[in-house]
């Protein structure tokens, strides 16, 4: 057991040494090139998502459910809000199309694929509405 632990330490120190060299080189690159620093912020995924796509989000949305097509990003069909949408007559779709009425977004877990598709559909004249999950929950609670 002692041998195994010391072996692990040696293995870890070899990896750490290699990683340290890479990080040192990266650190030097950042000093030389401020653009390599990234955002330098501690913003959450949600905040970063909103900065990039917030202009497409409906403010104080009016949401109809019966017969409307809903796509969700950042949450699954088994999420409670998605279940309530279905219970209120909404229809679940897994991807965006020209027929989609609403894209419901949980920005903590949302990727770019569905919002990009929604933006493309809007450019083509679609009336798809991008709704934040918290706004959907508020409407469902009314």
Question: What is the domain count for the chain?
Answer: 2
What pTM value is reported for the model?
Answer: 0.66
What CATH number does residue 105 fall under?
Answer: 3.40.50.10190
Rounded Cα distance between 136 and 134, Å, is: 5
Same domain, 80 and 14: no
Same-domain pairing of 65 and 12? no
Give per-residue pLDDT as tens, 40-97. Answer: 456 776 777 777 777 778 777 899 999 999 999 998 889 999 999 999 999 999 999 9
Q: How sure is the predictor about 25, in pLDDT bands with cuts at 50, 70 and 90? A: low
Residues 23 and 81 in one domain: no
Please tell me the distance from the alpha carbon of residue 119 to that of residue 46, in angstroms, as a whole number. 18
- Whether residue 23 has pLDDT greater than 90: no
- Show the domain range for 13: 2-37
What is the spatial order of strands in the sheet that 91-93 belongs to? 91-93, 69-73, 102-105, 129-132
* % of the chain residues with pLDDT over 70: 69
């Amino acid at each position: 057991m002692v041998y195994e632990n010391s072996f692990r330490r040696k293995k870890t120190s070899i990896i750490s040494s290699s990683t340290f060299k890479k990080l040192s080189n990266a650190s030097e690159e950042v000093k030389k090139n401020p653009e390599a620093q990234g955002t330098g912020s501690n913003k959450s995924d949600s905040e970063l998502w909103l900065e990039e796509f917030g202009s497409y989000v409906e403010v104080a949305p009016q949401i109809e459910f019966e017969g409307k097509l809903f796509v969700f990003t950042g949450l699954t069909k088994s999420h409670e809000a998605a279940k309530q949408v279905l219970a209120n007559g909404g229809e679940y779709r897994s991807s965006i199309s020209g027929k989609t009425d609403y894209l419901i977004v949980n920005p903590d877990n949302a990727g770019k694929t569905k919002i990009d598709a929604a933006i493309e559909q809007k450019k083509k004249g679609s009336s798809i509405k991008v709704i934040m999950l918290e706004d959907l929950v508020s409407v469902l609670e009314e």
